[in-house]
Structure formats: structure tokens, C-alpha cells
Amino acid sequence: MRGYRIQRAPAIRDLLAAGESFSFEFMPPKTEEDERKLWLAIRQLEPLAPTFVSVTYGAGGSTRDRTVRVTGRIAEETTLTPVGHLTAVNHSVAELRQVIGSYAAVGVRNVLALRGDPPGDPNGQWVPHPAGFAYAEELVRLVRASGEFCVGVAAFPEKHPRSPDPDTDAAYFVQKCRAGADFAITQMFFHTDDYLKLRDRVTARGCQVPIIPCVMPITSVRTFERIVVLSGAKYPPELASRIREHADDRAAVRQIGVEYAAGMCERLLAEGVPGLHFCTLNGSRATLEIYQHLGLQDRARSSGSAAPMTA
């Protein structure tokens, strides 16, 4: 495959080397109304000058075209540095090359390479495409061989559900890094000790790839039950109790979620994390509130890691 030369955006590895990273995650829209809300959130968060933003990729490639289109539009029409997601689910190697080429064509040079979950049931049996990949490290090698890309991977504070134990999971993670990963973003979590223990296990194996913790503030009971509970993420019983106690008061639920997330962020920053990655659910209010509570915009400016304000 002919290598792509991408010059528009800075590499995430270079931005991370410059200082703390503060970044946002968006989902590709399913309808025109969803797209309107997405772009409203993007424009409201853009003045915060995040280090980068990422756009997720649906199970089985279900949002492939929308993900590439939205990621490319962010690169073209905003001051933001986008990271495109890519999963191996239901894709042949030829199809994966095509997606990588699509990212290159729209000026995206940063890619998060994920094996992905089985479509329909995240906990179902993993069946690789007969002409595809079985492991994320294979996808990392493909992206790195396809041009001047910076590659990220996933990390699992609670270990991957298919890993037999945390130490084995850390070994798998290090394999992905040695295959060419430049950085990692965790799955969402609610216990900061889980992240810190993961970081210690990885460091003990001689791997220094920066692992960015992903934080998702709970903004509604629906968010909690659909995303947190169904994902299998461990959550503090007292947090769940407080949220359900105020189920009829949306403002109170959002405040509880924001305060808990902000407390996590404070401890993570005190522990020297490379940055914070916020799962926005295509909304801006909760993230803005956390930013204001912690003074993250001024902190990002002082660290010098914010993305350059050029299109």
C-alpha cells in the first residue's frame, strides 16, 4: 500500500510531550437532529482549546462513513485536532486499508486503533473477520505501516473483560505498545485506584506509553442505566444510590455526576496523569462545568499542550 503523507494536524504524541492533555470524545450522529446537537457541542467546547478530540466508531463498522466524515469535517472546519477511531470488527484487511486511506484523504493523521466489541452484544463471543485481524496489535501495525500516522490504543483500568487477570491484561497492553502505539486512552471508570494500579503494572513492565484516563460525568439516570450499568463498569454503590434518590430532579443528578467526576479529576491530576479525556455524549454542559470547577482552561494554557488555534 502506498504510504500517505499527512501534514495538517500535529501528532498526539508531540502534544502529550508538550504538557498535560485535555481532550473530548464525541459520537457520530445518527440523524440530522443528532448532527445539529453534535456541532453545537463542538462549537461550545472549541473555545476551551482542547489538546484533541476523538470521534467514536460504531460496533461492526456501523458508523464508519459518518465517523470518517465527521472527523474530516472537524479537521477542515475547526481549530481542533481530531483523532479518528478504527476497529477491526467485521472488516477485512482490505476494508481497513480503505478506512485508513479515507482518514488520510481528509487530513487526519491520528488514529485510535481498537479491536472492538462483538456487534449486538459487547460480552458475546469474538469472531474475527476471515480476512481480517484477531488482535488490536495487528491493527496498530497496519496503521503505522500505512503512512505518517500517530496511533493510540485502548487501556482497561478494570482489565479487559476477556483477560483472565490484571497482569495478563497489562502484558497484552504492552504488546500493543511495542507494536507501535504512541499513546492510550482508557475505558471509562469510576475508581481512580483502578487506573493507578494499571499504570503501575504497565510501568513495571518497562512501558512508558502515556495512558490518558477517560472520565464520563453522569448527567441523567438514563445515562447511568444505559451506559454505565450495561458496560459493566464498576461504580460506587453510594453514587448509584444518590443518583436514583434524585431520579426526578435532572439538575440534581447532573450536579451529583459532575461533582463526582470533578473529584476523580482532581485526584488523577494530583497523581500526575498525562491528561484527562472527557466522554461528552455529544453534550457540552457537564464538561464545561468540570472545566470551570477545576480551572482546566487556564491549566491547559499554562502547560502549553493545547492544540494550536489554526485551521
What is the rounded distance in angstroms from the CA atom of residue 294 to the CA atom of residue 284? 16
Instruction: Judge whether 25 counts as a catalytic residue.
Output: yes
What is the rounded distance in angstroms from the CA atom of residue 158 to the CA atom of residue 47? 33
Helices and strands in the chain: count of H runs, count of E runs = 13, 8
> What CA–CA distances, in Å, run from 18 to 155, 268, 300?
22, 19, 11
What is the rounded distance in angstroms from the CA atom of residue 132 to the CA atom of residue 229? 31
Asked if residues 62 and 90 have their Cβ atoms less than 8 Å apart, the reply is: no
Q: Which three cell numbers stand for residue 41?
A: 457541542
Q: Among the options 25, 138, 158, 289, which is catalytic?
A: 25
For the chain, how far is it from start to end, CA to CA, in angstroms? 29
Catalytically active residues are 25
